[in-house]
Amino acid sequence: MSDNWVQVMEEGAASYDLPAGLTEADLKQMYEGMIMIRAYDERALKLQRSGRIGFCVTSFGEEATQVGTAHALRPDDWVFPAYRQYGVPLYRGASMTKMAAHLFGNADDSAKGRQMPAHYTFDEHRFVSASSVIGSQIIHAVGCAMAIKYRKSDEVAVTYFGDGASSANDFHSSLNFAGVYKPPVLFFLVNNQYAISLPVEKQTGISELYKKAEGYGVHGIRVDGNDVIAVYKATREAAQRARDGKGATLLELFTYRVGAHSSSDDPTRYREKDETAEWKEKDPIERMKRYLQQLNIWTEEYEAEVWEQCRTKLSVAITKAEQIGDPPWESAFENVYAEMPSALEAQKQELLDRESGLELNNEGEFPL
């Protein structure tokens, strides 16, 4: 590995110490946060397979990239995610009921059922909605960071994207701009080694993706993305560097997507079983478990209690979400403009009249 490789939980290490700056409570919080994401994914996939929801995205094997970064950020930092970072608002305290509501796209969904599934958004946690357009959130994060710089405040803007997005135009435009203007932005390049079915070596000519930063004058490091403490440590240092006015950092979080790209994907068509089995041995939750065992923090009773609490919380939220109806028709017209235009108001009223069974005057040409 390169000199810029960040790792704390070395494979095969005989013993560990409590990391500097972290307490026993911090370590337990991160461990429990990863279990919550894993439990959420397991339940979401079961809901989809049983036909109770139509689609879901999971992040099996990538939990440390979400929890490690989230633990290092402040509540007032801005987050511009891809669609596999829903564990970040969950870790920041987002309502589980709201999370479940989004799975069903019901009336309690923050997006009112208008967004793609797995495109969570929580304005109260400064978690901006994801987009299906590859890499567009990278530019948005840089723009937000420029606003922070102009206002002379000390938040940071962060954005998450995959290895495939590092080959997209928006990535290059954003890195170039960040290299010139030095806004307080962190680029989390989650290298899970597959852009859906396309492996890294077939979509870019460089194997260590953090080195792409150098060409734009941006600081770059590579982090063991299955080591939650290393992710936390690297994020904390990069965030402080940004707050100190030293500009952007590209953090390549080297990990592996153990599951499918989405519930519509079959990874056995493009990956070997042996490869996936090898990475399952590097499971970030199991690594943290061994770490806690060596620090005499983990017990079987503690483990069982954490899983039980997570699954109970999920069951309560999902049961509640399934009882909530679809968004009302008029919600399609709301939260689009600060003040609804008269033409849209008329269309809304027409829809409501149709719903109430009133006779409508259909004379005249279609208003196109």
Q: Which residues are catalytically annotated?
A: 257, 261, 270
The b-or-e profile of 40-52 (16+ CB within 10 A means b, else e) is bbebbbebbeeee
Confirm if 158 and 77 have CB atoms less than 8 A apart: yes
Q: How far is CA 84 from CA 10, 97, 272, in A?
A: 26, 19, 23
Whether the Cβ atoms of residue 84 and residue 190 lie closer than 8 Å to each other: yes
Helix, strand and coil content of the chain, in percent to the nearest 5, comes to 50, 10, 40
Residue 256 makes CB contacts below 8 A (sequence gap 6+) with 61, 62, 192, 193, 226, 276, 279, 282
Q: Single out the residue of 39, 32, 89 nearest to residue 66, CA to CA.
A: 89
214 contacts 221 by C-beta, under 8 angstroms: no
